[in-house]
Structure 1
């Protein structure tokens, strides 16, 4: 029996005077103790499932006058659990080491607690932190490794969210590492200090793990791609487009409009992780650019801005490389296909322009709605078909001038993935998508509207390093409301003008 000396009847009042978290974390060997669970309804099933999940050989006795069908089904798969279909009495506590009260009768729960304390037993009372001697924390398990999380009974939801983060972050291979370390420890000779020194040397890679070639060199690959891309575009334009040379001498005022717009839109995108394409597309259409040329300008500017932003997120460790690998190839295929289709319809811009305006109008409404309903679904609903999401997001983004962040990032977060890692992954993926789609546009269309292109490139590049650092310091809701309203107004203007022309 676990000793519980000097339990006071006024310990609830005493604990309320305590400040800070007074819990002492322990790991109990339930397979060596005798456990009593009172209650066989939904609450009791939840408690029993937690016990068995963490200790499959736990010796549990269940006492309940009423047993739910789901509880009976669970017992059918766990014949080692004893069931007594009866009302609780103090005699049920004989030969018991630890108690769980899981009834929906508060008076009965307090009666059980009093009887348990009279016998010096520790007890957990469901949904009553003030009556508990111990709590059941959220558990992260990777083989023999277990991490318990407790919020001192203040917020089980926070504990569950932290559990999700750790489950996604810690590799399953940690258990293999534990087994190897256990075997290694048995082979070491020398005193305790020598063994610790050797084990520290072996485990140093856990603190400074070796990165894959892609993860270790992604920053150089990004900058090398940027230099090669800009060099190739500049050389081609200088030798094939007289307008480009003239532009360098006589800068049009359009450049300054897009310079300011690129900076503002990149800052917005960095703050909320989306809307650069949508806002840029709406602005470009309002300035008179055809849809394909607008999309080309947007994607060429995104090569540099997303390269910088992706590099910053990489340096801050915000990239989920497993998610990146699932996302990138389908996204590139979709983006190239969308860019080719839109470029082929450039001569019909008078018809494609209102279609794009309607699309941005809808996206503006979606952004506005998300501003008032930024909630993540449970992790059980996590999106599995990442490739399909990437292809669809890449195609829509290229064919309509934007939407990668609005579609992909919002879907990942809504599907239960961690916002920070989703943002970093979407940003670094965007660099490669923008590069391939803009090359497709450039091949199909050649040099057009370079005032807009250079303005967006320089403006967004200047904002990208700043935006990556302040992404979690600005009120996302306020920005999303403003962006949603502005995009809807600008897009609605383009649609109305097209309708008036038809009339």
Structure 2
């Protein structure tokens, strides 16, 4: 019986009994791996090896190498490349062999020699010749999940990988670290330690369930406290401007209905992708004849209720990164208050900052579009989280107050472009936006007179109605859809702002 016939027979047995592969995690730095092939498939295999085991001991043999593969090897001294055709002696002193060429005859020849030497073999796109497969890997710090379809469909494995990457939060690594610290402090026998760890993890689950049941929390008390305080300030401001308020009651300004519709439309877009409400609402307000500072005030007041509702919806659905939220709040509020103070005294300041912001968000929009996979990338670079969250929050809050918008465009775009999870970034940015808008509005209200309350009321009611709907819509969208939508909105709005500025010169 030939080797190929025996392999097919074995494969049929596997198909009848399901996936009988035994999963293992190898310390590749303790093995010598031979990779034959320096083209696209070879690059993919080597990237997978080094992506999971950066110190893997690998020798790559090929008669030609892609420049990308050579560049990859530069940062990995444990990898050696030999530019020539395969020789039988290349199999000496190796434990694992990976074949990644387009020459099946060469693969079968190498396999025959490798089996005589007792070596384990992986052959790209040829399951019947493989002793082991390289599955899709989900990596979150110390957590690593390998996915296998028994060689049937690498595409399905990749899709499952995308789902897990999207839904497993990056903070799971922090959980593992804390649990490990707890484990090291435990005393007693194995049974006692297991019981203690079960109690610890059970409390985490019950805490999560209590969040879903919407039991009173410090965050909800904080939100309602801010709402009550702000409502009192608004009532006081309206009371001080009693003639304006009385005229508004006697005859509603027709522009109220335009702002009502605009608030609904802009909030639907913003609630679904986490940005553009401030920029679009401010642009609309200016086109309706509202002065810059008053326009920014109207937008920020309307954002309090809409973002409070949307943020709370995201909080209920578990889309909040609490550590990220704390950093954005502290620095974002400082930047927002300073920006509101500046704009209240220099209304025309936004005209000079808007072109610079538009160029910045245009670049971010293109970066996000590339990362979504819509635009092809020559080199795959590992995502790195943005480090200076405090500086980002301060910049976003300041520019948002001065320019009448930009918190979502700047902060959410930067977080996603820096490798943060799209859904958790969206939820966190929406909730933090509530507090940023609140503090900006309080500053504006105390500094300005003669606010256009018909514009405020229209935007408040329209955005409030749209917010819970948009929040639920966003939770149904994939990360890729969110990223593509974000990039398109950012690019279009940025180009329009730049064009208007150039025409005004």
Q: Same fold (TM over 0.5)?
A: yes
Alpha carbons of structure 1 residues 141 and 218: separation in structure 2 relative to 1, 3 Å: closer
In the TM superposition, residue 54 of structure 1 has moved relative to its aligned partner by 5.5
- Provide the rounded CA distance (Å) in 2 between the counterparts of 1:164 and 1:328: 24
- Provide the rounded CA distance (Å) in 1 between the counterparts of 2:339 and 2:140: 43
In the TM superposition, residue 321 of structure 1 has moved relative to its aligned partner by 1.9
Q: Deviations 1:370-415 (Å, cap 9, x if unpaired)?
A: 8975627854343222222222222221111111111221222122
- Provide the rounded CA distance (Å) in 2 between the counterparts of 1:366 and 1:61: 38
In the TM superposition, residue 420 of structure 1 has moved relative to its aligned partner by 0.4
Alpha carbons of structure 1 residues 33 and 472: separation in structure 2 relative to 1, 3 Å: closer
Alpha carbons of structure 1 residues 163 and 21: separation in structure 2 relative to 1, 3 Å: farther
8 Å Cα contact 2:268/2:466 also seen in 1 = yes
2:111 counterpart residue number = 113
- Provide the rounded CA distance (Å) in 1 between the counterparts of 2:53 and 2:314: 36
- Provide the rounded CA distance (Å) in 2 between the counterparts of 1:19 and 1:408: 52
Structure 2: where are the runs of 5+ without partners? Answer: 374-379
Q: Decide which structure has the larger Cα Rg and report it.
A: 1
In the TM superposition, residue 208 of structure 1 has moved relative to its aligned partner by 3.4
2:229 counterpart residue number = 228
1:444 counterpart residue number = 447
8 Å Cα contact 1:318/1:421 also seen in 2 = yes
Structure 1: where are the runs of 5+ without partners? Answer: 1-5
Greater alpha carbon shift after TM alignment, 313-322 vs 487-496 = 487-496
2:255 counterpart residue number = 254
Q: Deviations 1:55-105 (Å, cap 9, x if unpaired)?
A: 98x9x7969699999999899769xx9x9x996538957x98754446786
2:299 counterpart residue number = 298
8 Å Cα contact 1:47/1:102 also seen in 2 = no
- Provide the rounded CA distance (Å) in 2 between the counterparts of 1:168 and 1:153: 24
Alpha carbons of structure 1 residues 265 and 41: separation in structure 2 relative to 1, 3 Å: closer
2:376 counterpart residue number = none
Which residue among 178, 187, 190 is the counterpart of 2:189?
A: 187
- Provide the rounded CA distance (Å) in 2 between the counterparts of 1:252 and 1:19: 74
8 Å Cα contact 1:359/1:400 also seen in 2 = no
Alpha carbons of structure 1 residues 157 and 223: separation in structure 2 relative to 1, 3 Å: same
1:454 counterpart residue number = 457
8 Å Cα contact 1:273/1:405 also seen in 2 = yes
1:3 counterpart residue number = none
2:398 aligned with 1:395, yes or no? yes
- Report the TM-score when normalising by structure 2: 0.74
2:21 counterpart residue number = 24
- Provide the rounded CA distance (Å) in 1 between the counterparts of 2:47 and 2:392: 38
8 Å Cα contact 1:164/1:379 also seen in 2 = no
1:317 counterpart residue number = 318
1:177 counterpart residue number = 179
Superposed CA RMSD: 5.1
2:34 counterpart residue number = 37
2:267 counterpart residue number = 266
Alpha carbons of structure 1 residues 12 and 292: separation in structure 2 relative to 1, 3 Å: farther
Once the two structures are superposed, the pairs formed by residues 344-493 of structure 1 within 5 Å of their partners are 344-346=345-347, 375=372, 378-473=381-476
Alpha carbons of structure 1 residues 46 and 433: separation in structure 2 relative to 1, 3 Å: same
8 Å Cα contact 1:312/1:465 also seen in 2 = yes
In the TM superposition, residue 198 of structure 1 has moved relative to its aligned partner by 6.5
